[in-house]
Chain A
C-alpha cells in the first residue's frame, strides 16, 4: 500500500518510476537533501520558526488526544482486569501503553494530519504559483530553504510533543483511576512503577522522532512534486497525509521488530 500510493497518486514519482525507477528517484532526492544539509547558513535561521509552527503549535491537538486516550485506557484496563488481576495493574497498563505505543502513534497520526497536510499544501501552493522557481532565481536552494528546516524541526519536535502527550495521557489515566475506579493514587503509582523501564520512554521517543522525519519529508516531497492548480494542491495534501499515516504504521512495526 505504501509503495502503491507512490504509484497511484500523481505526480510524485510517476514519471520517475516509469523512467528511472523508484530507487533512483529516492536516491536523487536523498543526495539533494544531503547536500542541502551542508548549507547550514540557509536552514539554521529558519529552524526555530519551523519548530514553533510544526511543534509548539501542535501541542494542543496532541494533548487533547492524550487526555481522552488516558481516560479510555484507564477504564478499559479496569474492565479487563477486574476479577482477574489486581487493579493496581491499571497503572502499569496505562503507563506502558501510552509511553510505548499510543502516545507516539496517536500523536504521530494527529501530526501527520496537521503537519504533513500543512507542509504539502504550503509547498504545493508555492510550487504552482512559481514561488519556488522564484526562490531558485534568487539563488536559494529549495531543499536548503524549504525541506531541511521542516524535516529537522519535525524530527526534533515530534518527540517533545509526544513527551507532553505521554505525561498528560498518564495523568488523565491516573485522574480517571482515582475518580471513577476503586483505585488510590499509591496503588496506581505502584502499578506504574512496578513494570516501568527507562527503555519504555526512549523507545516511544525514538519512534516519534522517526515519525516526525517521515511525515515532514513526505509532506515536503509531495508539496514539491505538485503540478496543476488547486486540484494538484489538494491531491498532494491528501496523499501527504495518507502516506504519512502509512509511514507511521510501517515504522512502528519496524521499531518493534528492531528494538523489542
Chain B
C-alpha cells in the first residue's frame, strides 16, 4: 500500500501541493484526476523520490521513502514501475535494449532477460518491434514500449503519467485495456490523467486533485454523482469558473 501523508511541494515561490494526503490500496487502479499543472505528475515523482517533498511523508509498503538509503531506494524502484508521459525511451537504444536495461540492472541471466522481453512485448502487442529505435515508433507505440519496460520488471506497483495524452481514441482505448490487464495481473496502478474517458474506464478509485490537495476520493459512480461543484465542473469539462464561496451580499444603501 502507498500512503501519501500531508505532502507539500513548492517550486520557487509557487506552491504546487499544499498538504496532499491519499491512501492507495493494493491491487486496484487509483486514478488521480485534476487540471494541467495541478501537481499530478509531481505526486507520482514523490512516490519514487524523483522529487522530494518539502514536508510530509510518502510510505510504500510501510517504509518511509524519504528515509531510505540508496540501496533501499534501489530496491523500492525495483518494485515500482514508472510509465512516463512521453515514454522517456532511451533514444540511442532499440526497443529490446530499452526493456533490457532494467532487467540487466537486476542481475537476471540472459535467458530470463530474453524471456521477459518477449513476454512484455507480447502483452503490449509489439512483438517484432524489438530492433526498432524509438524514433521509428508512433507516439502510441512508444507509450506501449514504456509499459513493456515497466511490466518486464514484474513490479508490484506501476505509476502511469498521463498514459493517453496525445493519443487518438482507438490507441487511447488500447492503452486503457493494457492498464486494466496489468491490474488484473495483480499490479497496483496509480494513474494520473485529465482524460476523463480514460479515467472512468480504468479506475477502481478516483481522486480529484485541486488546489494542491485531494478534493474528493471515491468510486467512479460516487464521483459521477458528486455534488461538489469543482468535481462536477472538471468531470463534465465545463469551462466556466466555479464559485467556491457564496457571493457576498451587499448591504442596502
> Is A130 on the interface with B (CB-CB < 8 A)?
yes
B73 and chain A: residue at smallest CB distance: A139
> Is A231 on the interface with B (CB-CB < 8 A)?
no
> Is A57 on the interface with B (CB-CB < 8 A)?
no
Q: Is the interface of A mostly helix, strand, loop or mixed?
A: helix
Q: Do the beta carbons of B84 and A130 come within 8 Å of each other?
A: yes
CB within 8 Å of A: which B62-88 residues: 70, 74, 77-78, 80-82, 84-86, 88
Q: How far is the CA of A35 from the CA of B74 in the complex (A)?
A: 14
Q: Do the beta carbons of A137 and B80 come within 8 Å of each other?
A: yes
CB within 8 Å of A: which B27-72 residues: 45, 48, 50, 70
Q: Do the beta carbons of A134 and B105 come within 8 Å of each other?
A: no
Please give the distance in Å from A18's CB to the nearest CB on chain B.
10
> Is B108 on the interface with A (CB-CB < 8 A)?
no
Name the contact of B105 in the complex, choosing from A15, A131, A139 (C-beta under 8 A). Answer: A139
Interface residues on B, range: 20 to 34
> Is A246 on the interface with B (CB-CB < 8 A)?
no
Q: Do the beta carbons of A134 and B77 come within 8 Å of each other?
A: no
Q: A35-B70, A139-B77, A139-B106 given as contacts; is B101 within 8 A of A133 (CB)?
A: no
Q: How far is the CA of A171 from the CA of B86 in the complex (A)?
A: 52
B75 and chain A: residue at smallest CB distance: A139
- Please name all residues of chain A whose beta carbon is closer than 8 Å to the beta carbon of B101 when the two chains form the complex: 135, 138, 140
A140 and chain B: residue at smallest CB distance: B105
Name the contact of B48 in the complex, choosing from A135, A137, A141 (C-beta under 8 A). Answer: A137
> Is A184 on the interface with B (CB-CB < 8 A)?
no
> Is A129 on the interface with B (CB-CB < 8 A)?
yes
Query: Which of A133, A134, A135 lies at the interface centre, i.e. has the most chain B CB atoms within 10 A of its CB?
Result: A134
Q: Do the beta carbons of A129 and B88 come within 8 Å of each other?
A: yes
Q: Do the beta carbons of B77 and A131 come within 8 Å of each other?
A: no
A residues contacting the other copy or chain, number (CB 8 A): 15
CB within 8 Å of B: which A131-189 residues: 131, 133-141
CB within 8 Å of B: which A96-148 residues: 125, 129-131, 133-141
- Please name all residues of chain A whose beta carbon is closer than 8 Å to the beta carbon of B149 when the two chains form the complex: 138
Q: A131-B88, A131-B90 given as contacts; is B77 within 8 A of A136 (CB)?
A: yes
- Please name all residues of chain B whose beta carbon is closer than 8 Å to the beta carbon of A138 when the two chains form the complex: 77, 101-102, 105, 149, 153
Q: Do the beta carbons of A136 and B70 come within 8 Å of each other?
A: no
- Please name all residues of chain B whose beta carbon is closer than 8 Å to the beta carbon of A130 when the two chains form the complex: 84-86, 88
Binary B-proximity of A1-34 (CB < 8 A = 1, otherwise 0)? 0000000000000010000000000000000000
Q: Do the beta carbons of B50 and A137 come within 8 Å of each other?
A: yes
Q: Do the beta carbons of B70 and A141 come within 8 Å of each other?
A: yes
> Is B109 on the interface with A (CB-CB < 8 A)?
no
Q: Which 8 A-B pairs have the closest CB atoms?
A: A134-B88, A138-B102, A130-B88, A137-B82, A139-B74, A139-B77, A130-B84, A139-B105
Chain A contact residues, CB within 8 Å of chain B: 15, 35, 125, 129-131, 133-141
28 A/B residue pairs, CB under 8 Å, sorted by A: A15-B12, A129-B86, A129-B88, A131-B88, A131-B89, A131-B90, A131-B91, A133-B45, A133-B50, A133-B88, A134-B82, A134-B84, A134-B88, A134-B89, A134-B90, A135-B101, A136-B48, A136-B77, A137-B48, A137-B50, A137-B80, A137-B82, A138-B77, A138-B105, A138-B149, A138-B153, A139-B102, A139-B106
